[in-house]
Structure 1
Amino acid sequence: MALRKRVWRILMENKGRFIGIIVLILIGSFYFTTVTGVAGSLEGLVVNYANTNMQEDLTFSTDRAIKDIPTLEKESNALIEAYQQQDVKLSDGQSELRLLTPTSKINIPAVMSGKGLENPGDILLDPSFLQKHGLAVGGQIELNGKTFHITGTMALPNYIYIIKNLYDVLPTTGFGIGLVSNADMKMFSGTANEAVTVYGARFTNREDIDIQNTKLHSLLTEKGYSLSEWLDAKNNKRISMPRANIDSMQTMSLPVSIAFFLLSCLIVGVMILRMVKSDSVVIGTLYAQGYRRRELTQHYIAIPVLLSIAGSLLGILLALPCVKLVLDSMIASYILPNVSVAFSPLNLALALLLPLAFISVASFFSIRNVLKKSAVELMKGDEQKAKVNIIERSLRLDRYSFNTKFQIREQVRSIPRLLFLMLGVSAASMVLLYGFTFNSSMELAMNQGAVARYNYAIEYNFKEVQNLQKLPVPAGAEPYNSFRAYPKGREAIQFYLIGMKPDSVGFKIKGLGGAKLSRNQVNITSPLAQRLGITVGDTLTFVNKLDGKSYSLKIDGIVEAYGEQEMYMPFDAFNRMTGQAPGSYRTVLSNHVLHYDERLLAGIMDARNPKAFEDMNTTTTLIMAATTIVAALMAVVIIFIVTSLIIDENRNTISLLKIFGYHRREVAKLILNSSTPIVFIGFWLGLLLMLVFGNYLFGYIADSINMLIPMSLNPLYILISLLSIFVVYEITKWFCGQKLTNISMSEALKSGSE
């Protein structure tokens, strides 16, 4: 009972220090609970939605209707279903609605509010379009002179992320989707913009989807169908966007949280060790009174156990309401039914038990060497005395002034505290630098990446291969041909092989360091070359993802690029190699608007207005803001704990210095400024750790989203990070320094009398 009371007394005497530890544990537990909660909820929602509503594995169009779908389904071991789609302009002349017919086998619609289609003239709209256009369930909308009754809102598995065309980058302003009956769709026949037939396929065997895609493509080709808009779900942004978010969160949740927990372990371990050493005489007395080692171990372990439980529980409780907010913000661009938060009991248990296990084990090993000594040894008080170690003896401090010797001894006589401060500052610096580096890298990718490399800013992608003889390209525009490929045996790495005219100027292509590079040869972008580990002179064997044909090309040059994964070769050689007719092309780059029939186009990208891509930086800004806040909080907590430890351990010394006539500012300089070199070293160690961590993380991103973002370390951001760490250090040190005033000169005299 007496020992139990002492636990609370220790906690109350060092409130600030223990609150700091709770905050660090809270951050780790909060992060783990939030990220796993969001990822788990999103995964459950997306996966269940995809399976329940039979999300397609690929989408494609043909030049004519497929005659015998049941036979094709048996041959390809897939479900195949056709649906109609037609784009209709609204009366404002700017907004556009894509009307789709309902399906029953694949991409089954999910009604989110109201009721489904029951009568002719009924329509279901996506909720985003409904809200942005001021419409309401039960209201009406006029399309091509016909009035439709809005019966409800719906979601479609193949339109989770609503973009107009398969190869679009961003959603088109004012664009949405609507569901109407087949009878209503027929009413639009004969209009200028005819309805088109699109097919979706879902394989019954859920393994080796890519191989089955290639097989289905071959079957249709053999039957004489000309295919267009052939795109699998993994590369279809309408489907793949939320899955990419899930993968990134799941991968980073556990490592980042464990890093916080391990840092907390180090802090608690150092504090408990110093507490036990300072209590050595008390422990010896308790041994003499009959207390056993197990009881004293439980007594001192109780403190870290209480801290870890308090921190992890607070982190979990704070995370619970935040998960819904984060989830809602993440899916604001997605159309998903039944958005609800689902927490895994296992993840909640891990958020509570991981810090408890780590910190308890660290504390146990910290105190066992002290507690295993005899009562007589402990009562001598040797554990409280500062010991001269081998580092201090090797420094030959007699050469230095008193102030310098004092500050050096202050550090080397407490190696655990020194390591804790250095690693803590390193962790805070690493988090802060990573936020800035991620921001800098995304800025580089956006400002000098694919969009910035267009000399001709408008890109027209066609559904089917065109030919220069039938559809010539006007002046100020250039034809390109391409297909998606992957290196043989490495399906995860996908890139585009692009055929371009030798005199093409639509793309900015330059060699490494800005060197001139011929377009009449095979060139590869530097990010792709880096991922594949190849250089000039090497031969790359790759496979056309569409038809499974294999090709080999010798690399003649490397293009300086910032994230793009592409290969370039001469236009005519591309068509000869792939067996296409001379003059075949799939894409046109233009420096002015071209008036193509929209029914021929699969998508248009306009890079003339960079503001259209600003929304893509929102996530980057949030990441940088979050990491900056976390880094600052970590730095404050760690520096506060170390500084308060330094003051408590030197109370007698501070008292003596005051007796000798030192002013408070001079005492603060001697006691507190001794840690400044360690903070400086910790920052640069954090920079090195960030480079290692950043390379790993950027490599993971490359594998998960098939894009190698160049890691850019801006010297200005390094300087800002260094100044930020030292500003936090100086402010925290100033606040802790106020405790020096409360230490009286009589403490040294009391210590001597004892």
Structure 2
Amino acid sequence: MASPLKKRLPRELKNNLGKYLGMFLLLTLAIAFTSGFLVAASSIELIGANMRADYNIEDGHFATTFKAHDRSLKAVEELGCTVVEQFYYDSPLAFDGAADGTQARVFPNRGNCNQAVYAQGRAPEADGEIALDRVFCRNNNLNVGDTVNLAGRDMTLVGIMTLSDYSSLFQNNSSFIFNALSFTTAQVTQEAYDMIDQGSAIYSYAFFLNDRSMSLPDRTAFEEDMVKALTDKGEIVTDFVDRESNQAMVYALDDVSGDQMMWQILLGILIVIMAFVFVVLTDATIESESAVIGTLLASGWRTGELIRHYMTLPTVVGLAGAVLGNVIGYTLLVLPMQGLYYNSYSFPPYHTTFNPGVLVSTTIIPLVLLVAITFIGLVRRMHATPLQFLRREITHRSKRSSMPLPERLRFVTRFRLRVFVRNASHFATLFFGIMFGSLLLLFGLAMMPLMEHFAQESAKGVPAEHLYVLKAPIEIDVTDSQREAYAAAEELMLTEDVARIAPEHLVTLYVESATIKANDNAANTEENSPEAIAQAEKFATATLETPRRFGDESESVTVYGIQPDSRYWTDVDVAPGKACVGLGVQQKCGIELGKAHAFTDKYTGDAYDISFDETVGNTTTMSVYMTLDDFNALFDKDADYFSGYASDMPLALNSRYVATEITPEQMLAVAEQMQDSMGAMAQSLLYAVIPLFLILIYLLTKTVIDRSARAISYMKVFGYHDREISKLYIRSITVTVLVSLIACLPILVTVIDLLVKIMMSRYSGNLEIWIAPQTYAIEVLIGAATYAAVAFLHMRRIRRVPLALAMKVQE
């Protein structure tokens, strides 16, 4: 014979279908979205972590002016590494719909090093065949079988691939942004490579360390020995990039790792919200079932049996939501989430990998919370006596519920006030629930405007129209004879076979270059106007790391050595012995003025203690400043050392000496790229947030209506129509919802500020919390529209409250 309690389960589910359906959907959607993203991101991270071994990716690469001699490469390999040719040239690429200036970085088919991974098609086998990057082909609608023109030769696209050392398409390592629209990597046969004009060939060599676990400082020292070995053999090294500095290799994975923090924050908010909702629903269940529980206890049922009974439905519903959420996350959402990255970055083929940590954080913790909160709530309330349950005296009744209201008020107004006063605690619960839901909504809405604001502030932070960062000091204020001397020396250096130079010209070159003094800085071979020279200002720069306040990672900080009374850094007041710290660095890294703070050079391991006297800039300023002389003393540089020019006018500089150029427009372009990469992320966040917000409002407001069911039935007995009753109850809830949506905004700004700081603990830089005024308006409008849909459902529910409920004896 079935237990009477078990027979009640279907009836309880039917009578409370809205509550359990809301709980089910809340769990299902929360788990589906968070597990879908985190599983995709962790799978991509695992793919990236294994790429070095799976595709034999380099430890770094260097380039020389000419093809390096065998004896030079042998000298490098004797240090403890293997060197492999990775020659390439950048060539114009044309096809229907190609952007102006589209270029392909052409490699001969690779072997076992920095392997190519094919998504479609195959490697080129004939001279007229070519393979291009997968993301570039997607952005330009290119497919296998299409024809492209490379350096004037028609080629058939036979393969769509990814080069394992180009997961992000950076044309230059010094570039601020990658370019997957007008730049691509390409592979052709060795014969096709040899036939195509190689006038601009780059003699690049990948190296693979014998000890691939070497620490970064040791690797840096090893790489310095490599450069010395090459220069001792007469080679001119034009480029040298370690794997950790190679943006084409590390940028994409850093982005994936950083974005997980945003979704982990969302998951944390959702767990708090679910815990809050579970508490509210458990209390509501006990209140609505109070008379039944009292009857069962009086009939001899044990407390433990009742606890197990009332835990059954929440547990079953929770398990069903968790299972369905994971099914949706792993099957329907994981691929769209993976596409957020695979549409921008050239990763190898994707495969989902089960992550136990994601299962625990997205599924096990919410389920345990549901069961634990329900159990604790039931145990706490089951201490009441059967008589207290029967009389519905298990909750504390405030004296405010019977306080007199002013007689001069209209009946309808007094009634609404009475509804509000009697349900004050429930409305307070509703306020906090709306605050949690609005936190989700505002967090999702604020991300893109925050990025735009960050872009504008970053552009303002560039002190001049042009910042030229140099590889080595180069003087621009020089005489014509100095310029000619260095031009002669450069021509001799860049000529592979000086015997081909005419004897008379060769003599002239040697005579002119002989006037160069060994210890002087190089002279610029390009000519600039006196006005441009006069307004240009020297500075020096270096990059150090210091621990972040949140998390266990370090922040990269740019150290500037600038001129006292600088014409460009006008808001920075440096003097001998005085250093200034950017507000962003101070906030993110917890720097105290007047106290020495530790910084480290991650490449050499050298430590520096710097004490700051003043804070400068805004919350996006991630630099520190001192005089140029103090900079040279700190980093043990020559007195005349510098590494850049600040200028409002364009400068003509020898390109061999320029590492990068920074302009305000470039900083805006960086932000646009961030918006492109984060736009789909923020949009998917909103897709997750809005339905969750709707469900949360529904569940919380439903508890208020349910608790007023008997009073609503009384109103029907007194002859009030459904529409009139709806105005009395729904309008009270409406006022509470609208006031809550607006009143909680200051609290939300403070909380989001903290969440952004935690989110940025995984990123370089510092974001100032900034929410556009229209964002507040959109948040309130979405909240009001969501509530309007919920109110419609509640009006239907009020119409279904039976008259018979008023006739039932409460005791």
Normalising by the residue count of structure 1, what TM-score does the alignment of the two structures yield?
0.83
* 1:324 Cα offset (Å): 0.6
Question: Are residues 1:484 and 2:535 paired?
Answer: no
- The one-letter amino acid paired with 2:353 is A
- The one-letter amino acid paired with 1:563 is T
Unaligned segments of structure 1, at least 5 residues: none
Aligned length, in residue pairs: 737
Q: Report the Cα distance in structure 2 between the residues aligned to 1:388 and 1:346, rounded to whole angstroms.
A: 42
Question: Are residues 1:333 and 2:344 paired?
Answer: yes
Equivalent residue in structure 2 for 1:533, among 590, 595, 599: 590
Q: After superposition, what is the alpha-carbon deviation per residue over 1:314-340, rounded to whole angstroms, capped at 9, x for unaligned?
A: 322332212112212322121122223
Aligned to 1:427: 436
Flag the 1:365–1:33 CA change in 2: closer, same or farther, 3 A: same
Q: Report the Cα distance in structure 2 between the residues aligned to 1:118 and 1:729, rounded to whole angstroms.
A: 63
Flag the 1:575–1:188 CA change in 2: closer, same or farther, 3 A: farther
Q: After superposition, what is the alpha-carbon deviation per residue over 1:687-741, rounded to whole angstroms, capped at 9, x for unaligned?
A: 435524532442442x322211122244553454345434544553354134334
Alignment of 1:341-380 (within 5 A): 341-344=352-355, 347-348=358-359, 351-371=362-382, 377=387
Aligned to 1:83: 86
Aligned to 1:99: 106
* 1:492 Cα offset (Å): 1.6
Question: Are residues 1:127 and 2:101 paired?
Answer: no
Alignment of 1:189-204 (within 5 A): 191=199, 193-201=200-208, 204=211
Aligned to 1:709: 767
Flag the 1:622–1:60 CA change in 2: closer, same or farther, 3 A: same
Aligned to 1:304: 314
Q: After superposition, what is the alpha-carbon deviation per residue over 1:47-70, rounded to whole angstroms, capped at 9, x for unaligned?
A: 222321133344444678484556
Flag the 1:194–1:688 CA change in 2: closer, same or farther, 3 A: same
Q: Report the Cα distance in structure 2 between the residues aligned to 1:649 and 1:139, rounded to whole angstroms.
A: 68
Question: Are residues 1:393 and 2:403 paired?
Answer: no
Q: Report the Cα distance in structure 1 between the residues aligned to 2:469 and 2:195, rounded to whole angstroms.
A: 29
Question: Are residues 1:688 and 2:761 paired?
Answer: no
SS at match of 1:398: coil
Flag the 1:222–1:175 CA change in 2: closer, same or farther, 3 A: closer
Aligned to 2:457: 448
Aligned to 2:794: 736
Is contact 1:528–1:566 with CA below 8 Å preserved after alignment? yes
Q: Report the Cα distance in structure 2 between the residues aligned to 1:442 and 1:80, rounded to whole angstroms.
A: 42
Equivalent residue in structure 2 for 1:671, among 724, 729, 736: 729
Alignment of 1:536-685 (within 5 A): 542-549=599-606, 555=612, 557-571=614-628, 574=631, 578=635, 586-587=643-644, 602-603=659-660, 607-608=664-665, 614-660=672-718, 667-675=725-733, 676-677=735-736, 680=739, 684-685=743-744
Equivalent residue in structure 1 for 2:37, among 23, 35, 38: 35
Equivalent residue in structure 1 for 2:185, among 136, 161, 177: 177
Is contact 2:163–2:185 with CA below 8 Å preserved after alignment? no
Q: After superposition, what is the alpha-carbon deviation per residue over 1:180-239, rounded to whole angstroms, capped at 9, x for unaligned?
A: 466655556772x242324445573436x3222322244236547476644444443312
- The one-letter amino acid paired with 1:276 is I
Q: Report the Cα distance in structure 1 between the residues aligned to 2:140 and 2:690, rounded to whole angstroms.
A: 43
Q: After superposition, what is the alpha-carbon deviation per residue over 1:276-305, rounded to whole angstroms, capped at 9, x for unaligned?
A: 343344334445666554443333222112
Equivalent residue in structure 1 for 2:163, among 135, 141, 156: 156
Is contact 2:585–2:621 with CA below 8 Å preserved after alignment? yes
Is contact 1:431–1:630 with CA below 8 Å preserved after alignment? no
Q: Report the Cα distance in structure 1 between the residues aligned to 2:540 and 2:108, rounded to whole angstroms.
A: 32
Alignment of 1:472-511 (within 5 A): 474-475=528-529, 476=532, 478=536, 480-487=539-546, 492-500=554-562, 509-511=569-571
Flag the 1:247–1:726 CA change in 2: closer, same or farther, 3 A: same
Is contact 1:467–1:585 with CA below 8 Å preserved after alignment? no
- The one-letter amino acid paired with 1:367 is L
Equivalent residue in structure 1 for 2:270, among 260, 264, 289: 260
Q: After superposition, what is the alpha-carbon deviation per residue over 1:403-429, rounded to whole angstroms, capped at 9, x for unaligned?
A: 788667656766774454233111111
Is contact 1:266–1:362 with CA below 8 Å preserved after alignment? no
Q: After superposition, what is the alpha-carbon deviation per residue over 1:148-195, rounded to whole angstroms, capped at 9, x for unaligned?
A: 66552332222100011112122344211123466655556772x242
SS at match of 1:6: helix
Q: After superposition, what is the alpha-carbon deviation per residue over 1:345-402, rounded to whole angstroms, capped at 9, x for unaligned?
A: 664576454433221222222223455666x536x712x258554xx23798336568
Q: Report the Cα distance in structure 2 between the residues aligned to 1:248 and 1:44, rounded to whole angstroms.
A: 15
Q: RMSD in angstroms over aligned alpha carbons?
A: 4.2
Question: Are residues 1:239 and 2:249 paired?
Answer: yes
Is contact 1:497–1:566 with CA below 8 Å preserved after alignment? yes
Q: Which stretch shifts more, 211-220 or 563-572?
A: 563-572
Flag the 1:444–1:668 CA change in 2: closer, same or farther, 3 A: same
Aligned to 1:56: 58
Aligned to 1:47: 49
Flag the 1:292–1:453 CA change in 2: closer, same or farther, 3 A: closer
Is contact 2:164–2:348 with CA below 8 Å preserved after alignment? no
Flag the 1:448–1:271 CA change in 2: closer, same or farther, 3 A: closer
Query: Between the two proteins, what is the percent identity of the paired residues?
Result: 20
Q: Report the Cα distance in structure 2 between the residues aligned to 1:615 and 1:409, rounded to whole angstroms.
A: 55
Unaligned segments of structure 2, at least 5 residues: 477-521
Aligned to 2:218: 212
Q: Report the Cα distance in structure 1 between the residues aligned to 2:65 and 2:685, rounded to whole angstroms.
A: 51
Flag the 1:234–1:403 CA change in 2: closer, same or farther, 3 A: farther
* 1:259 Cα offset (Å): 3.8
- The one-letter amino acid paired with 1:176 is T
